[in-house]
Amino acid sequence: MHSLYARFNNFSAFLSSCLMGVLAAVALSSFMFTAAPSGELSLASIKVFPGNSRRLPNVKQEFAFVNFNISADLTPLFHWNTKQLFLYLQAEYVDSKGVQNDVVIWDSIVRRKEDAVIDVMGRNKYVFRDLSRSFRKARPANYSLRYNLMPYVGVLTYGEAARTSEAVLFPDPETVS
């Protein structure tokens, strides 16, 4: 007859096969949910100030400060397989050398459907500077509120919830008194 070990091995192999089948069904069913979150993004002000680099104290560069207003309803993105949403505000612009830049200037994590109605008035959370050390001659920037849906099981989903209606110019640097 079969030993106790062989019976336990057969039983656990069967259970793990069933579990993998259920997880595959859950992952595939996530593709059936298509949601279109709605949101608005507006910029209150953009200011550029000259400053010194932290790593190179004698090097001057410009820092941009963006004040924004975000209002979005992201509840359609939450379903039974949504673990959390990673939201981020992204600035997209082409610098003076013709290089495309995508910079994340603010982010947040939404873990519950109850917290998915966003109404934020804030400014950039991260330092916003250009590698060429100046925003002069940079093309106007487009700002967008993007999300990354993280499921319990399945593939990460990326999308856009809001975008500024038109590209915004970087102003001339202000003097600090």
Q: How far apart are CA 109 and CA 148, in angstroms?
A: 10
Q: What is the 3-state secondary structure (H, E, C) of 142-157?
A: EEEEEEEEEECCCCCE
Domain chopping of the chain, boundaries? 1-32, 35-163
> In 3-state terms, what secondary structure has residue 173?
coil
CA angle, residues 58, 60, 63, in degrees to nearest 5: 135
Model confidence, pTM: 0.82
Closest CA to 41 of 85, 88, 86: 88
Neighbours of 173 (CB within 10 A): 18
Percent of the chain beyond pLDDT 70?
97
What's the pLDDT tens digit per position in 125-150?
998 988 888 888 889 999 999 999 99
Decide if 132 contacts 95 (C-beta within 8 A): yes
Q: How far apart are CA 119 and CA 104, in angstroms?
A: 19
Q: For residue 131, give the DSSP letter.
A: T
Round the average pLDDT of the chain to a whole number and report it: 88
What's the pLDDT tens digit per position in 33-87?
777 888 999 999 999 998 887 777 788 888 999 999 999 999 999 988 889 999 9
Q: How far apart are CA 48 and CA 128, in angstroms?
A: 10
Which CATH architecture does the domain made up of 35-163 adopt? Answer: Sandwich (2.60)
Residues 6+ apart with CB under 8 A from 37: 72, 73, 74, 75, 76, 77, 147, 159, 161
Q: Which two tokens stand for residue 52?
A: 């010194």
CA angle, residues 170, 172, 177, in degrees to nearest 5: 125
Decide if 148 contacts 158 (C-beta within 8 A): yes
> Which pLDDT does position 29 carry in this prediction?
73
> Which pLDDT does position 32 carry in this prediction?
74
